[in-house]
A and B are shown apart, each in its own frame.
Chain A
């Protein structure tokens, strides 16, 4: 079975631009969560979606948005990019019962804002 897949793997953007990151969960998983990991720190929670509905939102500005599609894949959008948005963006998927066992991360998208 394929794990959580994220695209692209690396991305370089200029300040003020917009970016879209994509995530495909493990087959059968209905929940997707997004995390931001700045170098040298732990992952910080951004969003969680379950069955296309937002279940949780972290302490991030409105420039960050996300959505989940009928096939449970997800997109994370960031507008008006700042230098401080440079980070590894991780997606994790969870099975329908939302237990901790099922929290599987992808390898992430490395975003560099210049």
Chain B
């Protein structure tokens, strides 16, 4: 089955700095890569995703990149703010065929210091 590795486990930055979280996956058939943000006491919330037919996607201060050859994808957050502090999870899955079961990484705890 799919295996997703995520690094770093903890990331501490100053407000305004950029943050980068990296993930690798094992199953070359995976074609959908969502990122989730989990705040304390809440369930994970989808913040951005990318499909295997594109290499990069941006939404305001958040961007994701995908390298299919290396089976590597990353989350980039620019101009970090204290409210960005949360645990971030990457995931990989095969989308289509009537099923969608993402495999999650272990998470990155992002701390943004004011």
**Interface-forming stretch among B12-20, B39-47, B71-79?**
B39-47
Whether the Cβ atoms of A41 and B44 lie closer than 8 Å is no
Chain B nearest CB from A20 CB (Å) reads 19
Q: How many A-B residue pairs have CB under 8 A?
A: 62
Chain A nearest CB from B44 CB (Å) reads 5
Whether the Cβ atoms of A103 and B107 lie closer than 8 Å is no
Known: A42-B89, A43-B44. A100 touches B100 (CB 8 A): yes
Residues of B near A55 (CB, < 8 A) are: 98-99
Known: A103-B46, A107-B41. A42 touches B99 (CB 8 A): no
Q: How large is the interface on B (under 10, 10 to 19, 20 to 34, 35 or more residues)?
A: 20 to 34
B80 located at the interface, meaning its Cβ lies under 8 Å from any Cβ of chain A in the complex: no
Count how many chain A residues have C-beta atoms less than 8 Å from C-beta atoms of the other chain.
25
Residues of A near B49 (CB, < 8 A) are: 100-101
Report Cα–Cα, A104/B106, bound state, in Å. Answer: 19
Q: Which residues of A contact B (CB under 8 A)?
A: 4, 33, 40-45, 48, 50, 55-56, 90, 92, 94, 98-101, 103-108
Q: Which residues of B contact A (CB under 8 A)?
A: 4, 6, 32, 34, 36, 41-46, 49, 89, 91, 93, 95, 98-107
